[in-house]
Structures are given as structure tokens and as C-alpha cells.
A = this chain, B = another copy of it.
Amino acid sequence: MDVAKIQQHLQDNFETDLEDIRAFLRQPSISYTGEGIKETGEWIIRWIESLGGTARLVPVEGGYHPVVYGRIDSGAPRTLLIYGMYDIMPADEPGWIAPPFAAEIHDWEDQGPCIINRGSTNTKGPLMSFLTTLRAIIAVEGKLPVNLIFAIEGEEEYGSRSFHRFVADHLDELKDAEAMLFPMFGRDVDGTPAIRLGTKGPLYFELKCTGGDWGGPTTRGVHGSNNVWVASPVWRLINALSSMVDKDQRVTIDGFHDQVRKPTPEDIELCRTLAATRPPEIELRTHDVTRIKWDMDAFTAYITAQTQPQLNIDGIWGGYTGAGTKTLLPHEATVKMDIRMVPDMEPDATVELVRRHLDAHGYGDIEMKVINNYTWSKVSLKEPIVQALVETFRQMGQEPAIYPLNIGSAPFYVFDRMLKIPYVFGGMGHGARAHSSNEYISVPGILDFEKSMVHVIDNYLRLAAK
């Protein structure tokens, strides 16, 4: 590929790309309500077709919204899988400075001109910017130098509940892919691009304690004064929870740490570099956190965050939560929790750990309801598709921050475990405030992102050929 010529073409035609991206962002595709899902899926299909490919909506049994499956066959020797998502969160939170589906351009904080729009960074902006990049490659080169398979899911914001089933049911249509690329705007607020070599696996569950044979009111809350001789399901849940952590919030679930893989030399090396170049304070500042857990030093903080599991309480509720002094002995209390599983913790065994801990501590009555549970995933820094992105950043003058893992979760195990292919997610470009008001993407960042995607494809073809 003539990378320089394609990048010049992108620069010369940026206004057209920008308007195509803004038009796409103005089309809502709300996962929870289904609003605009079909129109958005068809929009992507038209784009793939306009690039010389074929595409269709593939419904998934038990799924909410179909996958856009497409192919662009260029007769090239290599094939990449492009993963993405076309659904977005609702935009009903307060505080928007512009309508959430108007794709207006405003100066945002110190980021210069930005498109303010729901889904702009997460992730319809990078998805459409990737398609406009392909258009530029074809315009300059006549065709793509690589075959592409697209699997763009429509229920990522619903927890990707059926994407693994799509993959299982369509292995034949995916098996040609040698690596996966998930185009994303990857630069942080301070400009550093990130590469994350995997994801933790989420075990999201509820624990519910209800009055019953052990005691407590069984069917409804009763007057609070009865607590003097009637036990409380709220106290019982609190006691059960407090058996799972020590005073410093270190997890004490029996066997919780047994399956955790010892940090590898690569983990240690990457965390050393992170600690030296990017103090955790930078990351925590964006969360308005003034003190890191356990007063860890920079290296310990990174190696902990990147290689250890957590036991988080996402929410807790029970009884009367309004104003004033209503007095109530509640009959139930519930907590939502998530464990982030790291290598080599596995989903079913982790559920078992929690269940067994509760039983062993006398809380066999506490109900455990698993809401989401899939495994972690890991890719090596040495993979050509990963190195292709690392080199891209360096070619564009940026040294990436490379993390052993994403401390959050994504169902990328479908790639490394089911399809057995390596993957990478990222790119130049900057966006932020996903799931919040005023989600935005930097306008100059879009062009950077487009240029970076040309590099990634070019680098990958070169590195994979070695």
C-alpha cells in the first residue's frame, strides 16, 4: 500500500468523511429500547456493499438485536476479522450541552473542536471512521490489500449476551480470519494511546437475603421496633458480606486467590514501565480519587490492578430509603456484586467459590443469582496484530502505554478461545464520557484515527508475512 498517498487522500477528503460520520451518529441505535437498531444495521450493510462487499443482518437465537455480518473479499492472501458494535446507551441523563443526536461540534474542555453525541466514542464514531478509511484505501489502491470479515454486534450494551452464540453458530463463516481488529479511539485525555493485552472476565451476581426459617419477617417489612426480638435480613446480609473481606477490604473468600496466575515476566516488565512513565495518580485523577487502595506504590498498584481479581459492590439496597424516619424491619436485602476474573480463574469455579463460602459460613439461605459470567482473555504482545498497532503509534510519534489487561471486561474470549485468533483493540483518536452526558470525540482525532488504521493494516500484512 502507498500509505503516504492514502493518508494524503484522507486529509484532502476529510470534510466528506466528517459529514458521513456525523450523519451516522445522528441516527440513534439505543440498545435498551431498540430505537433505530434496524436502521443502523442497514446503514452499515449499505456501507459494506458500497465498498464492494456483501453483508446481512444475522438474528441470534435468544439475542436481542442481530449481528451485522459482512465480507469484503479482495482475493488477498490474508484475512482480518473486524469486530465492532452498533448499539449505544440511552441519552436520558441530564447535563447535555447539545442535543445528544445532533452531532454538533463544540470546543470541549482542552480538547479543541469535538463532536458531542451519544455513541460518538462508544463506538459508532470509530466504526464509521474505519469504513471511511477503507473507502480511501480503495480510492487510492483500487482495492483492499486484505480480505475483511465483519461481525458488528447490536447488543454490546446489553452485555453481549448472545455474541458468543453467534460465533459458535457461524464458525465456518469466521474461520478464515487470522486476527481480529476492534477499531477504537485509543488516546487518553492526556494524549497517550493505550494497548491492553486482554480483558478480565466479569462474574456479576446478586446476593439476596430474605427472612425465612432462620428468622426475620418472611413476607413484608414490619414495624422496626420488632427488631428487638425478630432478626434482620439486612444485618444478616451485612454479616455475610463482611465475612468476604477484611477490615482493609482485602478479599477473604475461601480459596479466592488460589487460581490466580502468578504475574508473568511480561506482566512485571509492562507494569514496571507503566509505573515509571505513567503514575497511577494520572489514571485515578480522572476518577476524582485522591488516595489509592492500601497506599500501594506505583508498581504494586499496577501489578495489582493488572493481575489480581476484585470483589466490588455495585449496589446495595433494602428497606426504607426515602426521607424522614419511617421505621421498618425489612424482610429482604439485596446486593449487586462483581468479581473481575483474571487468568486462571474460570467462571463456574468462581461461582462455586462464592457459593461454598456462603454455605461454609452458615449463609446457605442467601440466594445467589448470576447475571453475567464469562471468562477473561489474553493476547501476547508479540502477536503481529498487536505489534502492528504498537508500531503504528510509534510511526505517528506516540509511545503507547501497554497494559497486560483491560481491568474492565469484554467478551473477547470468543476470539482467543473460540476462534483461536489473536486480537487488538485501539487506534489513534480521542473520545471520552462514554455512558455519560456530553460523550464526545475530537474532530482532529478522527483524521489521526483514519491514518492510524492505514498503518495498522499495512504493518499487519508486513509483520504477518515474516
Query: Which B residues are CB-close (under 8 A) to A227?
Result: 310-312
Query: Which chain A residues (189-230) contact chain B, with CB distance < 8 Å?
Result: 200, 202, 204, 211-220, 222-230
Q: Which residues of B contact A362 (CB under 8 A)?
A: 247
- Nearest chain-B residue to A218 (Cβ)? B288
State how many copies of this chain the complex holds: 2
Report which of B222, B315, B320 forms a contact with A336, defined as CB distance below 8 A.
B320
Bound: A328/B325 CA distance, A: 28
Distance (whole angstroms) from the CB of A320 to the closest CB of chain B:
4
A408 pairs with B225, CB closer than 8 A: yes
| Residues of B contacting A371 in the complex (Cβ-Cβ under 8 angstroms) | 324-325
In the bound complex, CA of A215 to CA of B247 (Å): 14
| B213 adjacent to A290 (CB under 8 Å) | yes
- Decide: A314 and B319 in contact? CB cutoff 8 A: yes
- Are A229 and B288 closer than 8 Å at their CB atoms? no
Contact A220 B317 (CB under 8 A): no
| Chain A interface, >50% SS class | mixed
Q: Is the CB of B232 within 8 A of A290?
A: no
Return the CB mask of A289-315 against B: 1 if under 8 Å, else 0.
111111010000100110011111111
Which of B222, B234, B235, B320 meets A287, CB within 8 Å? B222
Q: Which of these, B158, B291, B333, contacts A215 with CB under 8 Å?
A: B291
> A224 touches which one: B312, B316, B326, B328 (CB < 8 A)?
B312
Q: Across the interface, do A320 and B325 meet the contact criterion of CB distance under 8 Å?
A: no
Q: Are A326 and B310 in contact (CB under 8 A)?
A: no
Taking a contact as CB atoms closer than 8 A, the residue among B218, B231, B321 that contacts A293 in the complex is B231
Residue A464 is within 8 A (CB to CB) of chain B in the complex: no
B-contact 0/1 string along A131-154, CB 8 Å cutoff: 000000000000000000000000
B219 near A288 with CB under 8 A, answer yes
- Are B330 and A226 in contact, with the CB atoms below 8 A? no
Supposing A213-B290, A223-B408 touch, asked if A327 and B320 sit within 8 A by C-beta, the answer is: no
Tell me the bound Cα distance from A305 to B231 in angstroms.
Answer: 12
- State whether B222 touches A289 (Cβ < 8 A): yes
Q: Is A220 touching B325 in the complex (CB atoms < 8 A)?
A: no
A122 at the interface (CB under 8 A from B): no
Chain A positions within 8 Å of B, measured between CB atoms, are: 158-159, 200, 202, 204, 211-220, 222-232, 234-236, 238-239, 241-242, 245, 247, 249, 280, 284, 287-294, 296, 301, 304-305, 308-322, 324-331, 333-334, 336, 338, 340, 362, 371-372, 407-409
- Listed A/B pairs (23) with beta-carbon separation below 8 Å: A215-B293, A216-B291, A217-B287, A220-B288, A222-B289, A223-B408, A224-B338, A228-B340, A229-B293, A229-B304, A230-B284, A230-B287, A230-B289, A230-B292, A232-B312, A234-B316, A238-B313, A239-B242, A247-B362, A314-B328, A315-B330, A316-B317, A325-B372
| A-B complex: 10 closest residue pairs judged by Cβ atoms | A315-B319, A242-B242, A227-B312, A315-B320, A228-B310, A225-B408, A234-B313, A222-B287, A219-B288, A225-B407
